[in-house]
């Protein structure tokens, strides 16, 4: 079957107002980069009214599908055959398209969308005309407007007509890069990668923050998180992951604070560190995989006590999700199998036997006051943070550097 374009629809972006052009520009750039990463060549992308299209230039459309399936902002897309606006040419293209697919016992309908109102035949009349021609040539087909196996779509534009049988679903959402930047607390479990992916789907550029407790946690646990970042980077090209040494702080909590409140204290201090790193990285929000009531630190009371330490927005896209729904997304984005690998993170290693589910803010503040030199420990953790740039599915070796060296180099460039 010879297709000459891939027609891309962008759904929600069509509702944008004066800034629609910027959203579309970002979507076009993301499409070009993602296709280039997948097939090694940057494609042309043509803007039409309410649509985008990629000229195939003699190439088959299938190699483009994996890339387009990972571009946020695409509603649906279709491989299309284009013709002139001559009704006879359109009819010939429709019949030619059907000749390439199995038809025996299939039901069908014809859908005509007439964006070009100057086209001489009304949509409904042209649908009937095409259906009659189809039945005359392919009598084995059965027309059915509601329960159909095949939909023959004709999109009549201003200079040409598009004919297609297939409408493939996209990810929807908003183009990555239109929603600002946020720091994702990436634990290594099922929830946090899904939370990060959902924020990316709303256009937010996400960086990862992982708190490790070596030697209490293994190097395999770190490799697991790096692998998760690579899985997420399949939708963005790369993701920067900040590895924060958390062992001294956890040891200080264990030595000085009541055991039933340890997890709450750890999460409060993690948010303090995350907020400072976010400021250094010009991020405007933090993201977590919290889900109401899933564990002791995710009750309303715990979240209230934890949130007290930061003025930065803490976004929790999974707050109301059923675990089954989260697992379903994790499998769809290919993070689930990595997330369930049996390597413990810093929270599971230090979890108390009976964690408090309704901690009070004043209790948390009192317990933290028992940690001598907490601000210095936080400063040391940030200074010891290593940043790893992880590339899509390990397509390139990760690049490592000290976070503070990156900040200093950037400040020097800006100066």
Residue 175 within a domain: no
The owner of tokens 């769809």 is 332
Closest by Cα among 269, 257, 271, 226 to 367: 257
- Rounded average pLDDT over 49-68: 93
How far apart CA 204 and CA 321 sit, in angstroms, is: 20
115 and 249 in a single domain? The answer is no
- 139 shares a domain with 115: yes
Do both 104 and 53 map to the same domain? yes
On whether 237 is known to bind a ligand per the annotation, the reply is no
CATH of the domain at 98: 3.30.2130.30
Q: What is the pLDDT of residues 136-159, one digit of tens each?
A: 999 999 999 999 999 999 999 888
CATH code at 241? 3.40.50.620
pLDDT at 347 over 70: no
Assign 346 a pLDDT band (cuts: 50, 70, 90). low
- Residue 227 placed within a domain: yes
Given a cut of 70, whether residue 351 has pLDDT beyond it is no
**Count of domains for the chain:** 2
> DSSP string of 24-47?
HHHHHHHHHHHHHHHHSSPPP-EE
Check the annotation: does 119 bind a ligand.
Answer: no
Based on the fold, state whether residues 206 and 324 are members of the same structural domain.
yes
- My answer on whether 135 and 231 are in the same domain is no
Instruction: Find out whether 95 is annotated in a ligand binding site.
Output: no
Q: Domain check: are 377 and 399 in the same one? A: yes
Q: Are residues 106 and 216 in the same domain?
A: no
How many helices, marked H, and strands, marked E, lie in the chain? 15, 16
Looking at the chain, the whole-number percentage of residues with pLDDT higher than 70 is 95
* Beta carbons within 8 Å of 45's beta carbon, 6+ residues apart: 8, 28, 31, 32, 52, 53, 54
CB contact at 8 A, 272 and 233: no
pLDDT of the residue at 215? 83
> Is position 341 annotated in a ligand binding site?
no
Q: Is the pLDDT of residue 103 over 60?
A: yes
State the pLDDT at residue 350: 59
Enclosing domain of residue 117: 5-169
164 is in an annotated binding site: no
Q: What is the pLDDT of residues 206-217, one digit of tens each?
A: 999 999 988 877
Per-residue pLDDT band at 353 (split at 50, 70, 90): low
Task: Count the residues in the chain.
Answer: 415
pTM of the predicted protein model? 0.92
Rounded to a whole number, what is the largest CA-CA distance in the chain? 87
Pick 365 or 11 by higher pLDDT: 365
DSSP per residue over 221-236, as a string?
HHHHHHHHHHHHHTTT
Tell whether 365 is covered by a domain. yes
> Tokens 């200080």 map to which residue?
252
Report which of 249, 228, 207 is spatially closest to residue 350, judged by C-alpha positions: 249
Residues 137 and 193 reside in one and the same domain:
no
Tell me which residue has tokens 């001598």.
372
The reply to whether 176 falls in a domain is no
Please answer whether residues 381 and 246 qualify as being in contact, where contact means their C-beta atoms are separated by less than 8 angstroms.
Answer: yes
Binding site annotation covers 289?
Answer: yes
The answer on whether 185 is annotated among ligand-binding residues is yes
């Amino acid at each position: 079957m010879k297709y000459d374009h891939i027609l891309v629809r962008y759904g929600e972006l069509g509702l944008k107002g004066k800034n629609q052009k910027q959203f579309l520009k970002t979507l076009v750039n993301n499409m070009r980069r993602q296709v280039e990463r997948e097939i090694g060549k940057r494609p042309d992308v043509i803007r039409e009214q309410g649509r985008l299209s990629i000229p195939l230039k003699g190439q088959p459309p299938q190699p483009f599908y994996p890339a387009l399936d990972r571009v946020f902002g695409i509603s649906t897309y279709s491989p299309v055959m284009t013709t002139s606006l001559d009704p006879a040419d359109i009819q010939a293209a429709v019949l030619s398209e059907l000749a390439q697919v199995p038809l025996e016992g299939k039901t069908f309908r014809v859908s005509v969308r007439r964006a070009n109102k100057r086209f001489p035949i009304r949509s409904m009349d042209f649908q009937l005309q095409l259906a009659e021609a189809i039945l005359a040539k392919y009598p084995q087909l059965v027309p059915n407007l509601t329960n159909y196996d095949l939909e023959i779509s004709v999109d009549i534009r201003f200079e040409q007509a598009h004919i297609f049988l297939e409408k493939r679903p996209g990810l929807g959402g908003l183009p990555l890069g239109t929603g600002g930047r946020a720091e994702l607390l990436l634990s290594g479990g099922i929830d946090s990668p899904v939370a990060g992916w959902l924020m990316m789907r709303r256009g937010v550029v996400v960086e990862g923050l992982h708190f490790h407790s070596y030697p209490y946690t293994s190097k395999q646990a770190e490799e697991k998180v790096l692998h998760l970042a690579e899985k997420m980077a399949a939708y963005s090209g790369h993701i920067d992951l900040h590895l924060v040494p958390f062992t001294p702080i956890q040891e200080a909590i264990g030595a000085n604070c009541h055991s039933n409140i340890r997890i709450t204290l750890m999460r409060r201090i993690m948010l303090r560190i995350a907020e400072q790193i976010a400021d250094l990285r010009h991020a405007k929000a933090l993201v977590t995989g919290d889900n109401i009531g899933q564990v002791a630190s995710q009750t309303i009371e715990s979240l209230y006590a934890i949130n007290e330490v930061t003025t930065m927005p803490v976004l929790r896209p999974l707050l109301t999700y059923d675990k089954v729904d989260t697992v379903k997304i994790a499998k769809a984005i290919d993070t689930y199998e990595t997330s369930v690998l049996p390597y413990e993170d810093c929270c599971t290693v230090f979890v108390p036997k009976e964690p408090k589910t309704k901690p009070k803010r004043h209790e948390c503040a009192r317990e933290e006051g028992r940690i001598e030199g907490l601000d210095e420990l936080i400063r040391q953790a940030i200074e010891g943070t290593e940043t790893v740039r992880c590339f899509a599915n390990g397509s390139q070796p990760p690049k490592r550097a000290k976070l503070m060296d990156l900040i200093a180099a950037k400040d020097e460039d800006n100066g």
